[in-house]
Homo-oligomer: A and B are copies of this chain.
Amino acid sequence: MDVLKKLGNNIRKYRNNLNISQENLAFESGLHRTYIGSIERGEKNVSFKNLYKIASALKTTVSELTNGIK
């Protein structure tokens, strides 16, 4: 599977575990909701800074969020 797709799946899993919506994650990370959606679908090549914002909003780290992607 494509690495962006794997990353998107991980982000969605963490978000679902926290039981928050894409809107909530967008608000907490300071990013746009449609942008979050496209990242979760593996359609956007997210930058490290934005990935860091998403990880922080999900109360985790980039390292944990990318665990298992190889």
Q: Identify the A interface with B (CB < 8 A).
A: 3-4, 7, 45-49, 51-52, 61-64, 66-70
In angstroms, how far is the closest chain B Cβ from the Cβ of A3?
Answer: 5
Interchain CB contact under 8 A, A45 and B45: no
Specify which chain B residues have a CB less than 8 angstroms from the CB of A68 in the assembled complex. 63
Q: Choose among A4, A48, A61 the residue with the greatest number of B CB atoms under 10 Å from its CB.
A: A48
Complex: A62 Cα to B45 Cα, angstroms? 14
Chain B residue nearest to A60 (CB atoms) is: B70
Given A66-B66, A67-B63, A70-B61, are A46 and B48 also a contact pair (CB < 8 Å)? Answer: yes
Complex: A61 Cα to B62 Cα, angstroms? 12
